[in-house]
Amino acid sequence: MSPRPETLAVHNADTDSTSGAIVPPISLSTTFEYETTGEDHPPDQLIYTRWQNPNRAALEATLARLEGGAVAHAVSSGSAAMLTIFQALRPGDHIVSSDDMYFGIRVQLNEFFAPWGLETTYVDMSDLSAVRAAMRPTTKLVILESPTNPLIRLADIATIAEIAHEAGAALLVDNTVATPVAQHPIALGADIVVMSLTKYIAGHHDVLGGAIIFAEDDELAERVMRLVRIGGGVLSPMNCWLAARGLQSLSYRVRAHSENALQVACFLAEHPKIERVLYPHHPSHPQNDLALRQMSLGSGLMSILVSGGRQAAIDLVNRLELFTSATSFGGTHSLIEHRESIEEGSSTPANLLRVSIGLEHPADLIADLQQALA
């Protein structure tokens, strides 16, 4: 029997062999006893917690199975996950990247890795001819987010995977917004999936973490493993335990986030003070057909463009009562943020608000928006 994702997520660790506890203990030990044989240690042997830890091993195994990958690594943040991938490349290598992506990754590429010799070409991933034209003999990696943060643009993962592979490059997909519940990049041809565990995976605004999942345990996966273990940017046992706990309810939370978000999007799309709603499963989204084909759920993240410009958007944030003005998304609480204010070198529209729909009752969220827009 091949368990479905909901079952895999619940049974993400063995019963504790010592106590019989069905909730695994948190293993805070930094070092582990092992037999001295004079031989090389097996790669999965517990020696030192930077190398491996029971909580991290259980989380990584579950993430790999949920994404349909061969191997996963849990690291200290989503940004650290991307940083590690870039470190695994070589000076002179070329990257083709989406021109709409989390701003911190652009900072990494432009400020840290360009002087080191890593070249990046930014393209609109919805323009497949532009993606093809950007490929070079030295292109090693194509990077995309789908949906993107914060403009909620989609990319045709399967077609871009074909373009990347024809050029001898690997495709990396940031699956943070969609999660393995709503979208399966590896099944669509992606070679690497990166996620911020901080968002939907942990799901309660109390964990900082990231994950890298490889479709195959290949040479690049081996280099990343060495960087994680030798560099030490691993996820702590406590955060591994919390993320694994969050995984158990992930499928049901993402369904609720998505149902709530669609109701809120439908309300906002009809409001005269909202210029535009960007939500993949709303019919007004320009890539709605692709969203319905590629994503089984719309997730809980959307952006809205407020009529009246920058100040009108800021005023709306300050009139809301249930929505909290805060960074991040994917947790139980609904959050709202004026993105241009916090992004370095932002090209985000000044009247854009990023909205993370939480697990409150959607009627209450709509009522709060209604009073704030009145």
Which positions are catalytic? 50, 102, 174, 199
Q: Six-digit token pair at 295? A: 């994503």
For residue 282, give the nearest of 272, 156, 299, 273 by alpha carbon. Answer: 299
Euclidean distance between CA atoms 188 and 180, whole angstroms:
12
For residue 270, the one-letter residue type is E
For residue 167, give the nearest of 137, 190, 193 by alpha carbon. Answer: 137
For residue 201, count other CB atoms closer than 10 A to its CB: 30
* Bridge partners, 210 (sequence order): 75, 196
Q: Tell me the CA distances in angstroms from 211 to 50, 52, 191, one per residue in order.
A: 15, 15, 14
SS (H, E, C) 21-39: CCCCCCCCCCECCCCCCCC
H/E stretch holding 20? none
For residue 199, give the nearest of 159, 243, 230, 167 by alpha carbon. Answer: 243
Contact criterion met (CB below 8 Å) for 177 and 278: no
Euclidean distance between CA atoms 260 and 339, whole angstroms:
22
Match 């009562």 to its residue by tokens.
321
| 76: three-class secondary structure by DSSP | coil
**CA 270, 253, 289 angle in degrees (round to 5)?**
50
